[in-house]
A and B are shown apart, each in its own frame.
Chain A
Amino acid sequence: MANEISDQVNLRFNNWKSDFPLLSSNATSKKLIYLDSAASAQKPQIVIDSMKSFYESEYANIHRGVYELSEKATIAYEGARKSVSEFIGASKVEEIVFTKGATESINLVASSWGAQNLTSDDEILITTMEHHANIVPWHLLHKRTGVKIKAVNIDENGELDIDHFHQLLTKKTKLVSITQTSNALGVNTPLSEIIDTAHSLNALVLVDGCQGIVHKRVDLQQLDADFYVFSGHKLYGPSGIGVLYGKYDILESMQPYQGGGDMIVTVTTNDSTYAKPPYRFEAGTPPIASAVGLAQAIKYISNIGMEFIALHEHSLMKYASKSLQDANIVKLFSQIDDKAAIISFNFDDVHPHDVGTILDNEGIAVRAGHHCAQPTMSHFGVSGTVRASFGLYNDFNDIDALISGLHKVKEIFK
């Protein structure tokens, strides 16, 4: 049965891999089987080309020059903002702030909105399955303002304990900051219920969309998150650019995060007034070419269709789960049908790093370690796991290679 699905999927999706130069046959010393897209995705040629051609014929600083080239660059950069805005269904393009990544987006909200609005009487809810990027900024804010941080438990499958969420959510809760999808386990969180309940108590919700947006369509009109953050590099775009979406009235109430050029209206030596969002939060020269690359990445995946990608990745996840179960040599975490194409597993008696090194020797790139999610690891009583995560370019052959690599591990550590 698996073979049948395998054939269908391979026939249908085979050509996507060839869009990615690094995954093509001659790019690396041995054939690369890339199973670490949750850490960062590879880039299609079209994204690489868009940045190259931008540098070759359109590059200048933005919002500054009156000459044609600067105008062109500005149009490209603002065009990228529009692409992002449409891609996630923002109400207006001014709700999109470019940052250097999801990490900076969360720090921006913590430093600006958080420091402005929260005191030691208030509480922020996070969860045990957060990436460190959605934990540490809140610890820093706690040190600044005394705001309390509480974490919603996850269960033995790694799923959110929704009863515990309802228990922890009170009038003191001012913000729920939660991931859409766990980067270590692939588990999705019940966002609609969380957002509805939080809003009923006037708490805002920040959604860490890093791992969510790459696997399924996101529509913020429907989702109604107050803040939504993600990184370009996991979405087949370049590194160095990320997005903070914020509802406009909230962004408008926020003080700048950093000061500098481009975010002001007027400056005297004594004082300055700030531009409106999103510019208020984009001090200094932004990652202009990266914005162009991100827009191209969005165009690339939109042309394929997020629905197709989701379907393809779901079949990869199912096939990988089944193959790993059948192989019967590793223990799988979070065996859930409806999750993203991320699978964490461990051998009983082989450390994840040793597994990673042996797989690497076979040309298979997986992530081994705590995945910047130490609370999640502690929850399961392990210091780390091996994680295979899939992107649109992976196919069933990659999974078969993973399985034979794992047999090799078993053979060495018999």
Chain B
Amino acid sequence: MSELRDLYQEVILDHGKSPRNFGKLESKTADAHGHNPLCGDTITIYLELDKDVIKDISFEGRGCAISLASASLMTGLLKGKNMDDAQVLFAHFHKLVSDSNKTMSVNIPTDDLQKLDVLAGVRDYPMRVKCATLAWHTFNAALQNNTEEVTTE
């Protein structure tokens, strides 16, 4: 039960229930679609880029608490970041949820680290890692202007 509470922390339940930055972004300059064929869940990420800065970001879609919370937290973190910072965060997050070795992260503000850390519980549930990473992969595709749908498989 304690493990389960690590996964379903209040923050996750809260973001899952009322995701931030949810909805279409009228000012978008790029977007991408993601899809998890295993569960049929979908996500669209909208980006407004100003040169290499993420001026605004939002998402739409349907999914489980983990995937919605991950997208909600991610969009909150990425707003205002430049592309390089975003890549560093993505790399850190990927390790956080899939790699059991405690990761060393340089150049990430403690505040951001703490926000991402709430999703660390996912790594004990291998079947759910994809729920947490779909938003990030889809964001990455939007960043690279990749029009092909992102899938977890």
Mark interface residues in B6-43 (1 if CB within 8 Å of A CB, else 0). 01100001001100000000000000000000111110
Is A357's CB under 8 angstroms from B63's CB?
no
Let me know if A383 and B65 touch, CB within 8 A. Answer: no
Report A118-133 CB contacts with B as 1/0, cut-off 8 Å.
0000000000000000
Q: Per-residue 0/1 for B101-137: is the Cβ within 8 Å of any A Cβ (1 yes, 0 no)?
A: 0000000000000000000000001011001000000
Known: A349-B17, A358-B4, A412-B4. A369 touches B128 (CB 8 A): no
B41 nearest CB across to chain A (Å):
6
Within 8 A of A (CB), among B32-67: 38-42, 62-66
Contact present for B128 and A383 (CB under 8 Å): no
| Residues of chain B contacted by A377 (CB below 8 angstroms) | 40
Interchain CA distance A377-B62 in the complex, whole Å:
14
Question: Of the candidates A351, A361, A370, A374, which one forms a contact with B64 in the assembled complex, judged by CB atoms under 8 Å apart?
Answer: A351
Q: Does A67 contact B (CB under 8 A)?
A: no
Closest-by-CB residue of A relative to B3 is A361
Q: Please indicate the chain B residues that have their CB under 8 angstroms from the CB of A352 in the complex.
A: 39, 64
Additional A-B contacts beyond A353-B131, A377-B40 (9; CB < 8 A) = A354-B16, A354-B64, A357-B7, A357-B127, A357-B128, A383-B42, A413-B8, A413-B13, A413-B65
Q: How distant is B121 from chain A, measured CB to nearest CB, in Å?
A: 11
Is A384 close to B, CB under 8 A? yes
Contacts of A351 in B (CB 8 A): 63-65
With both chains docked as a complex, state the minimum distance between the C-beta of A319 and any C-beta of chain B, in angstroms.
27
Given A353-B131, A357-B128, A369 and B39 contact (CB-CB distance below 8 Å): yes
User: Which residues of the partner chain B approach A354 to less than 8 Å between Cβ atoms?
Assistant: 8, 16, 64-66
Pairwise interchain contact A384-B40, C-beta atoms closer than 8 A: yes
Q: Which residues of B contact A (CB under 8 A)?
A: 1, 3-4, 7-8, 13, 16-17, 38-42, 62-66, 125, 127-128, 131
Cα of A358 to Cα of B12 in the assembled complex, Å: 14
Within residues 342 to 363 of chain A, which ones have a CB less than 8 A from any CB in chain B?
A: 349-354, 357-358, 361
- CB neighbours (8 Å) of B17 from chain A are 349
- The answer to whether B4 touches A353 (Cβ under 8 A) is no
In the complex, how many residues of chain A place their beta carbon closer than 8 angstroms to a beta carbon of chain B?
18
Q: Please, how many angstroms separate the alpha-carbon atoms of A353 and B36 in the complex? A: 12
A384 → B minimal CB distance (Å): 6
B39 to chain A: which residues have CB within 8 Å? 352-353, 368-370, 383-384
Query: Roughly how many angstroms separate A377 CA and B128 CA in the complex, as a whole number?
Result: 21
**Can you report 21 residue pairs joining A to B where beta carbons are below 8 Å apart?**
A349-B17, A351-B65, A352-B64, A354-B16, A354-B64, A354-B65, A354-B66, A357-B4, A357-B7, A358-B4, A361-B3, A368-B39, A369-B40, A377-B40, A383-B39, A383-B41, A384-B40, A412-B8, A412-B13, A413-B13, A413-B65
A319-361 interface mask toward B, CB cutoff 8 Å, 1 = contact, 0 = none?
0000000000000000000000000000001111110011001
A370 nearest CB neighbor, chain B only: B40
CB distance from A346 to the nearest CB of B (A): 12
Per the bound structure, the CA–CA distance linking A134 and B87 in Å amounts to 43
A326 to B47, CA, bound (A): 46
Closest to A383 in B: B40
B1, B13, B16, B38: the one contacting A369 at CB < 8 Å is B38
Task: Find out whether the CB atom of B125 lies under 8 angstroms from the CB atom of A357.
Answer: yes
- Contact of A374 with B4 in the complex, beta carbons under 8 Å: no
Question: In the assembly, what is the distance between CA of A384 and CA of B63, in Å?
Answer: 10
Closest chain A CB from B12 CB (angstroms): 10
- In the complex formed, the residue of B with least CB distance to A409 is B8
* CB closest chain-A residue, reference B7: A357
Residue of B62, B66, B127, B131 touching A383 (CB-CB under 8 A): B62
A374 vs B17: C-alpha distance in the bound complex, in angstroms?
A: 25
A412: nearest residue on chain B (CB-CB)? B8
Closest 4 CB pairs of A and B: A351-B64, A383-B40, A353-B64, A369-B39
Residues in chain B near residue A369, CB distance under 8 A: 38-40
* Bound: A156/B3 CA distance, A: 39
Q: How long is the Cα–Cα vector from A368 to B63 in the complex, in angstroms?
A: 12
- Docked CA distance A358–B65 (Å): 12
When distances are taken between beta carbons in the complex, the residues of chain B under 8 Å from A361 are: 1, 3-4
